[in-house]
Structure 1
């Protein structure tokens, strides 16, 4: 078993970023967002505990304080709201609200700051400034006004800033924590992950067979390749054409995977079925759950056409689980996690990618020898355009959105920006407004353009696209797509927004 760092994320919003940095140092980690009552930190594989607090004032529970007193591993606390630090360090919190930059000077008395520049800029929040010291904690770094920015005692190391956001020095602090305090040996690699998952899939499927849910997106493509490597022809890959795909995408998926998977690929036309189920549904969570259930029901039906199919294999990844609130609060239900029905007619569901972030999934795909355009493909949500149409879904709206989305993608590709962006698409809003076309009044929909840059899809920054590009896309959409007379550009980061609108 791999060494493990456990991250307890109390809605701190930074747990995923920290996890990505830790994995980048070849150390395995998991994020726990459930109650401390269900947390076990003394198993033989857990060598460190990272606590990420909340900038919104959520306090840690008394049970956690009691649990930590028994911890035998180094504990790194990052920008807590104070519920933990007040009890352990006896400090008061001061400062201005929101994230801001501070200059830090470390005192040279901590392993955490070894090989770190004496002074450097950090990113902090009001919750991370220690105004005084007590309970025998020592200060290991100071701010410009003499305030303590980090404290430590025994195996507790408290940071009043976000190391993952504080450049190379912040990342070095995390590296020191992992290798010098926790004794990590860097035993986490994608090659090991592939070997382990292939073995587990073979063992689970046994002499029977498995059905793989294939959408043609990055996650399901890599999942299918991994499962095919494990069980070969015992795998049947089902591509369900929901009618919620982008322009010409169904045919493209069939062309690519019909060759890669040969006789193991099957395309199911279920467009009318999905549109019927979604008729009149406007709530995004209901959409996702309906789509998730219909996927499962179709897979159940198709499995009966093949002998010995007992398992469903799907490309759930770690961010899907986190955002769907498994063990925590729901951001949005993913059709393959929170959107699954309670009763499923399979012996079990296999999710070989469910502990990987998107960047790791892409790396795995390359290791499996998939053509570059597959693991590097722009992500597309499992529910498809169903969550890019705000409000009710109709064939007319789908056609409108397909055409607008195709124009946006075409123009980005024309100038090479598609290679610099991690995700980009068009949302058809439920907003109608008055406009003019060919000298006549129109009353049509507003389309929203969305383009982001991200490393792991847990956080994202809106992309600063050239104004002349935006103007050209807007003109083409309003000129060429009947049903849209206004185009806007979404400049919201994640958080506070999500990448998709629904």
Structure 2
């Protein structure tokens, strides 16, 4: 049973999903055109969004939504869509409300146990001027604007309860989830693993599955999960595309220790050949995605396999804009937006709806050691998206060595486990320097370390200066091709975690 969030493009939509999952109730995000009732919905939330309900390309409400008694909560843009749908009037307000706003609450199950006045986070220019017939106002803002209303199973609020800025916002969501939707806090990683094992069995049946192992946390954990479900019907394949970290090369041995045999395929020559002359990041990702599929389809023929297993997770799908028609693509991930339109294998993505921290909890539930679970995230395209400009074998070797030094220093200093993700980026520019009393002209290497919970947002990690100094000294001393080290101090947003 679940709470469904219909996404209209709000920057807070994924936060909504997280807030509800943290309550022990499963939530999922869909776009309005793809929404279909399947009988497992306990409630539906309409997210906010950047558009006006009167824009030429505005989104509509799924009509099926109002032919049932399932509780509905509209937030911001979602509230305005409800008002318009039932005959109310929405106008561009003379007063726009952005940021902290005082809100007075009236009696409503939605606001039970909450003070009559709270400070809420607003973000709207349009406002509901006239309520639909039969609807009752349940809150007003300090500017005397309608801030909430309800009618039977329909509830709507103009402010955002999912953000930390809104006082008692989580309590409001809890009232909707538990008091109105009657949900029970039964969603745990144990229940997720059990349900996914059953789901994988029912989908695969007696067919064979090719498992794509990249060396990262996601592909490793999804391999163990699927192996638990279908045993030797899974054929895990580790493709060495020449763009792996040194630590990734140990993954087949690590999996063998827990009873999973992995076939290793060296396709590095093919990948470097396909990447020759390509500098555009999107084209790199597309090329790598297409080449991966080519390799896996060739291997699948040997096993008469029908499915391709991938460790796609929610942030991958979000950044590739595959979860919402109203969101903008940031970049393609080779295992999502980088796949060719036509392929002979059916995709199997059991952890696609999870955030990174939830994936790690699945690994813990499966009994995997911390060496698997706490490994820093690694992108499917590997070092290719950490090499700015054309990718060559020489650059990959340089970057791999630098990344290995970085990782070893962080582990030795006890800093590795404190960081969400740390890595090196080889820039296309070179810098003049002095090595051995002679002029040098080496590559510039950027070091990036960030703190995050789920990869959706991140802040740069403040590495101690003595550690930075040791990293710089060792890399420039041991790798003659690198002449300068810089440290990236940019958060996400405005940047992404990876440089490309």
Q: Would the TM-score normalized by the shorter structure come out above 0.5?
A: yes
Higher mean C-alpha displacement, 230-239 vs 466-475: 466-475
Q: 1:272 aligns with which of 269, 272, 282?
A: 269
Quickly say closer, same or farther: Cα 1:356–1:233, change in 2 above 3 A: same
Equivalent residue for 2:137?
138
Equivalent residue for 1:294?
291
Distance in 2 separating the partners of 1:464 and 1:118: 41
SS at match of 2:270: helix
Distance in 2 separating the partners of 1:222 and 1:64: 38
1:153 aligns with 2:150: yes
SS at match of 2:391: coil
Distance in 2 separating the partners of 1:412 and 1:377: 13
Distance in 2 separating the partners of 1:79 and 1:481: 54
Q: 1:421 aligns with which of 395, 399, 419?
A: 419
Deviation track 1:127-151 (CA, whole Å, cap 9, x = no partner) reads 27969776665252545xx555831
Quickly say closer, same or farther: Cα 1:476–1:93, change in 2 above 3 A: farther
Quickly say closer, same or farther: Cα 1:6–1:208, change in 2 above 3 A: closer
Distance in 2 separating the partners of 1:11 and 1:301: 39
Q: 2:110 aligns with which of 109, 112, 115?
A: 112
Q: 1:360 aligns with which of 351, 358, 369?
A: 358
Deviation track 1:83-128 (CA, whole Å, cap 9, x = no partner) reads 648845646547789x74x264543523333333566654444x27
Higher mean C-alpha displacement, 146-155 vs 19-28: 146-155
Q: 1:324 aligns with which of 314, 320, 324?
A: 320
Equivalent residue for 2:403?
405
Distance in 2 separating the partners of 1:51 and 1:473: 48
Distance in 2 separating the partners of 1:129 and 1:490: 39
- Cα pair 1:8 1:52 within 8 Å, conserved: yes
What is the CA distance between 1:242 and its match in structure 2?
1.2
- Cα pair 1:80 1:128 within 8 Å, conserved: no
Distance in 2 separating the partners of 1:449 and 1:119: 47
Deviation track 1:45-76 (CA, whole Å, cap 9, x = no partner) reads 33333233335879765551584766744433
Q: 2:431 aligns with which of 430, 433, 436?
A: 433
Quickly say closer, same or farther: Cα 1:114–1:184, change in 2 above 3 A: same
Q: 1:312 aligns with which of 304, 308, 313?
A: 308
What is the CA distance between 1:235 and its match in structure 2?
1.9
Quickly say closer, same or farther: Cα 1:430–1:94, change in 2 above 3 A: farther
Quickly say closer, same or farther: Cα 1:185–1:476, change in 2 above 3 A: same
1:243 aligns with 2:239: no
Equivalent residue for 1:395?
393
Distance in 2 separating the partners of 1:39 and 1:142: 32
Higher mean C-alpha displacement, 423-432 vs 482-491: 482-491
1:221 aligns with 2:216: no
- Cα pair 2:212 2:219 within 8 Å, conserved: yes
Question: Mind listing any 5+ residue stretches in structure 2 that lack a counterpart?
Answer: none
Distance in 2 separating the partners of 1:147 and 1:439: 73
Equivalent residue for 1:452?
450
Map residues 47-126 of structure 1 onto 2, 5 A cutoff: 47-55=42-50, 64=60, 67=63, 72-80=69-77, 84=81, 87=84, 88=88, 90=90, 92-93=92-93, 100=99, 102=100, 104=102, 106-116=104-114, 122-125=120-123
Q: 2:492 aligns with which of 471, 475, 494?
A: 494
What is the CA distance between 1:388 and its match in structure 2?
0.9
1:29 aligns with 2:27: yes
Equivalent residue for 2:479?
481
What is the CA distance between 1:391 and its match in structure 2?
0.9
CA RMSD of aligned residues (A): 3.1
SS at match of 1:164: coil
SS at match of 1:64: coil
- Cα pair 2:26 2:187 within 8 Å, conserved: yes
Number of residue pairs the alignment of both structures matches: 488
Deviation track 1:223-264 (CA, whole Å, cap 9, x = no partner) reads 1111111121222211111110113431x21321122234x3
Give the alignment's TM-score, normalised by structure 2. Answer: 0.87
Distance in 2 separating the partners of 1:324 and 1:301: 26
Deviation track 1:11-68 (CA, whole Å, cap 9, x = no partner) reads 22211111111111122222124xx44434x553333332333358797655515847
Quickly say closer, same or farther: Cα 1:451–1:167, change in 2 above 3 A: farther
Deviation track 1:362-399 (CA, whole Å, cap 9, x = no partner) reads 11111111112212221111111011111100122112
Quickly say closer, same or farther: Cα 1:119–1:103, change in 2 above 3 A: farther
